[in-house]
């Protein structure tokens, strides 16, 4: 029996990269997964490649009405929601002085408000069921200062704090909430850093960037009943970058 046998999971930003890797591992371990994204063609293609236990829905995480529509659809189709992975996010290398208000607002809307709306919307059916796991993808930028990506770092610190507050609020209802803090991961987002891979790897004590599947393994653990006593905490996948 798989570690997520018969669980229903919703993953945001799952059309590619880390979200797609999480979806693949969940399905391998027996879950039914609803992938969401704004990249509709790619999202539908990824879901089709993952097989009959994967489906795709459009979701702009900054829109409360869209969140409600998607969660309502998941409940209508599957009867419950066991796992939410708030994976969707955007990243740009811009220091504080050069961060425009438009960029700030966009970053907050997707990386921070999107996580808040996801937790808020998923909490209701999870509380009714008396169980659930919410996993918020933060970053090592939510654990230390980030002078080259001010707005991104601010949102990831916010996700860290929101996770702790939600964990305390939802614990009496049997719902767990944790954050995962990846370091440098080999996905499309890596291209935003600039420079060559050798320069980036020199900053990592383990001497290499991580594969998306390595983050997915931690997310899988938190989604599973193996993590039944883990809530309100940070799980770091960074090769000792912030050690």
> Residue 41 domain-assigned?
yes
Q: How many domains does the chain have?
A: 1
Q: 3 and 25 in contact (C-beta within 8 Å)?
A: no
CATH value at residue 100: 3.40.50.720
> Residue 48 domain-assigned?
yes
Confidence at residue 193, expressed as pLDDT on a 0 to 100 scale: 58
Q: At residue 12, what are phi and psi to the nearest 5 degrees?
A: -90, 155
> Residue 3 domain-assigned?
no
> Residue 1 domain-assigned?
no
Confidence at residue 194, expressed as pLDDT on a 0 to 100 scale: 57
What does each of the 243 residues of the chain score in pLDDT, given as a tens digit? 899 999 999 999 999 999 999 999 999 999 999 999 999 999 999 999 999 999 999 999 999 999 999 999 999 999 999 999 999 999 999 999 999 999 999 999 999 999 999 999 999 999 999 999 999 999 999 999 988 899 999 999 999 999 999 999 999 999 999 999 999 888 776 665 555 667 778 889 998 989 999 999 999 999 999 999 999 999 999 999 888
Parent domain of 85 = 8-237
DSSP type of residue 179: E
Verify whether residue 229 is a known catalytic residue: no
Max Cα–Cα distance, the chain, nearest Å: 53
> Residue 2 domain-assigned?
no
| Closest among 211, 238, 189, 194 to 91, alpha carbons compared | 189
Q: Of the listed 152, 162, 183, 227, which one is catalytic?
A: 152
> Residue 17 domain-assigned?
yes
> Residue 120 domain-assigned?
yes
Q: 85 and 223 in contact (C-beta within 8 Å)?
A: yes
Confidence at residue 143, expressed as pLDDT on a 0 to 100 scale: 94
Token digits of residue 81: 């929601």
């Amino acid at each position: 029996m798989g570690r997520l046998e018969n669980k229903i999971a919703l993953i945001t930003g799952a059309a590619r990269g880390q979200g797609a890797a999480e979806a693949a591992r969940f399905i391998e371990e027996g879950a039914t997964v609803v992938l969401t994204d704004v990249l509709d063609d790619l999202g539908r293609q990824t879901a089709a490649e993952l097989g009959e236990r994967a489906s795709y829905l459009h979701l702009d995480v900054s829109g409360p009405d869209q969140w409600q529509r998607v969660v309502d659809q998941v409940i209508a189709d599957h009867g419950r929601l066991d796992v939410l992975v708030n994976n969707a996010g955007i990243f740009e290398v811009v220091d504080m002085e050069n961060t425009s208000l438009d960029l700030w607002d966009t970053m907050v809307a997707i990386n921070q408000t999107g996580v808040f709306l996801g937790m808020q919307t998923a909490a209701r059916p999870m509380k009714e069921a008396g169980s659930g796991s919410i996993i918020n993808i933060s970053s090592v930028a939510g654990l230390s200062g980030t002078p080259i990506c001010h707005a991104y770092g601010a949102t990831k610190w916010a996700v860290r704090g929101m996770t702790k507050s939600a964990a305390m609020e939802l614990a009496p209802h049997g719902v767990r909430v944790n954050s995962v803090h990846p370091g440098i991961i080999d996905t499309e987002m890596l291209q935003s850093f600039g420079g060559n891979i050798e320069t980036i790897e020199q900053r990592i004590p383990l001497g290499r960037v991580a594969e998306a599947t390595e983050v997915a393994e931690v997310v899988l653990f938190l989604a599973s009943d193996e993590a039944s006593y883990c809530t309100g905490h940070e799980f770091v996948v960074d090769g000792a970058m912030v050690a």
